[in-house]
Structure 1
Amino acid sequence: MGRMGAVLGVGFAAAAAAAAWRAARPAADLTGKGVLVTGASRGLGLLLARGFGACGARVVICARDRAELDRAVEDLGARGVDAHALVCDLRDPGETTAMMTAATAHLGRLDIVVNNAGIIQVGPLGALMRTDFEEAMDIMFWAPMRVIEAALPQLRENGGHLVNITSVGGKISVPHLLPYSCAKFAAVALSEGLDASLAGEGVRVTTVVPGLMRTGSHRRAFFAGVPAREYAWFSALGAGPPPISMDAERAAARIVHAVRTGRSYLVLTPPARVAILVHGACPQVTQWGLRMMNRVLPASGEERPTSGLDASRRADNAFLRTLTRLGDDASRRFNQLSPNGSGEEAAQR
């Protein structure tokens, strides 16, 4: 424990010094800047679009569902945000290219690109298939890679900023979230490598590593094996009260501020920072904890992934509703559900 304590002490001291240095830096003016946010019809992406728009930026958002996008644009417009929506399935290279061309045409120039789109598949290894891993990689690694390739010429020309939303699941691989963790590990590697590779080309890169946040995404994840049981543990953590999870609006505000101050790395939530430090210093400790976690998670079932909306009905009970009250409220406020509260779109993949 002495070695771990020393590492943690040095880490916290360095973080405090870096925070003090950043606090002294003036925040950049984003008025009139062109911002593209992927996966921004709901959840964290929508909140980031709100945040950049509140700073005076012009925003293009993209997602797969037109109805969700229309509601998001209405939400943003009511807040005075200059926003434009583009339907795009980022798994399709042709659609991605067309979306990037249309976004540039609308904005006139790209100054900030935020890779936020994602998918969450929850379940034991035996209930998942290779196609689940392929879909996770396609959405959270290859899709951002295609967006980056298309955006880099403009970002180089404009001295722009690339923001990659990764996850603590990309630093520590969590059981029952293996496709997600594999894709997020790749996303972290891509973002960190780009930060180093583009350092001399005038392009800033911010790697965002969120911990648990109340974005309402537990209603839009997919659950396999025994869906009701998988939903119960996942929502109790991801949609649970503080300090287990973080308010998503606060998280979005910190990400926007990190971009404005030129921060290259942002880890959100104290538990995520501690877990990353401990894993770096003593990985055998975290691996032991993950093995213990896997033992108490639901045993393997045979059901293929079903939506969080369906799984939530099966898992419904008063105790779980109490635990997830704040997260369920986030689902309603951040466009995770359709206006009648049914969230039909959750069944789409």
Structure 2
Amino acid sequence: MEGGASGHERAVSMRSSEMGEIASGRGPGGRIRLRVGVMGNGAMTDFDPVTVSVVVPAYNGEAFLEEALTSAVTQTAPPAEIILVDDGSIDGTARIAKMFGPSVRYVAQENRGVAAAYNTGLKLASGQFVAFLEQDDVWEREKLECQLRAFQGCAAIGVVFCPVELRVEGGASKRDGINLLDGPGVYSFSDFFARNRILSCSTVMLRRSLVTELGGFREDMRLAFDYEMWLRMTCKYEARCVGEPLVQYRIHAGNLSCDENELAAALGSLKAIDIWAEVAARRKDVGKRRVAQRRKGLYLRLAGDYAQLRDRRRELEFLKMALSMDRFNPREWGRYIWRRIDPSLRNKGRWYVRRVGGRLRAWGTGGKV
């Protein structure tokens, strides 16, 4: 609109203003002393000089990218840098990134996958902390501020994450029930081995020194590469969940789960578990029994995924693997034997059971058999 300012122009202007206000607080090497911690009594608390790098992997993300970047630029604790790694986009991703001028560092690479894009950003990042933002998600303005506060005085904390608010395109938003069930607190390797507690990389802030120490994301994993990283990190450090949902996790036609994606995610989780199974089995907080239980759960999930895809051979293969984890469980034997029966015979069996059941109910209520 003539005479008005676009969202990204207002965002860039706001960020420049905020950076000017705290310029006098820059320490050695350009580090920023952030005055962001508001205590319960209303007093302000100065953090030690810190810098935060934001890494945004993008692939054909023009639909929602401007809103995502605006949410990073307008943080109450402004990041020292925002690095957008374009993983071979063929749409307007580059144009949108460059609209933000020097506030966003644009880096292009050939299409190598999301894990590789994250790793490129991590190699370029100079901040003491790194926060990830996916191209279609949106941060609340205080996201970085709250997570920086969660790190203060806690050297054992390597990763801070948060719940999300589900933002359904064309529908109502709601808080994510998975992470809210966990609640705020500190989570260990055993907690993450039981299941992945982090719904989205957009919720994460980590110490960059951990990446130097432990390495980046595994690029040989298409999905669940992030889950493997959280297992790697919590093997040595703790993860903290802050209570408030600080990320709007967008659900839209381009990222809706389908049967193939669910299958790929389960296979990725199984690979992550297999990588860490030997370590987990030796740990007192996990042990061999819990490793077997975790594998069994994933085998059953994969059997169900293959059943949805009508791949009976693979379904039975994973049911048999689940049975091998719990050989003396009659329920698992019953499940395996039932699924081995030809589907047409199973359908006839269900019809017969329903018919007999209906007649028995009629007889019980005084009807004639």
Fold similarity call, TM over 0.5: no
Higher relative contact order (CA 8 A, sep 6+): 1
- TM-score, normalization: structure 2? 0.24
Larger Rg: 2
